[in-house]
Amino acid sequence: MLNSLHKIEGVGEENMLKCFHYDGCSFEQAIKRWKIIPGVIDSSDSYTLRTIINESHTNCFALRELDLFGEYEMRGNGSFFVGVIYSGEGNMSVEGETYSFTQGDEIFFLAAIERVTFKSELGARIFLCYPPL
């Protein structure tokens, strides 16, 4: 049993609210300032790989989108990453093993993985989330 209650200190309400912009602007100005337009990294008849958020936006993480309608092989970059299956289904080959995936799956890939091959006959959209590089 606890003899006393301990208050958990946070950043405080004033500091927390400092992270927001309170400048007014029109919708058009907001779009011009903050809209992120995905860029195509690589594309073929079987896939399109886009960058959504990258080092030009933040140094905290990166986000890519893989539209898959066939096969795509990606090589590791020495860092872990997470794949989130946004839609569709298929399978992936990793280190000689094959695993299936479907919408809603979240997959953690170890940094030691050198190659992953994604395949989908019906189509899939996969978000690839990376830590700071």
Structure confidence at residue 17 as a pLDDT band (50, 70, 90): confident
Q: Which token pair is 54?
A: 């990258």
pLDDT in tens, 104-131: 999 999 999 999 999 999 999 999 999 9
Q: In the predicted model, is pLDDT for residue 76 greater than 90?
A: no
Query: Alpha-carbon dihedral of residues 90, 103, 56, 79, nearest 10 degrees?
Result: -60
Quick one: which H or E segment has residue 16? Answer: helix 13-17
Type of residue found at 130: Y
Q: Find the mean pLDDT for residues 74-100.
A: 95
> 65 near 52, Cβ under 8 Å?
yes
Residue 77: the pLDDT is: 85
User: What's the pLDDT score for residue 75?
Assistant: 93
- pLDDT computed for residue 5 by the predictor: 47
**pTM summary value:** 0.77
Q: Please, which pLDDT band fits residue 10 given cuts at 50, 70 and 90?
A: low
Q: What is the predicted pLDDT for the residue at 50? A: 97
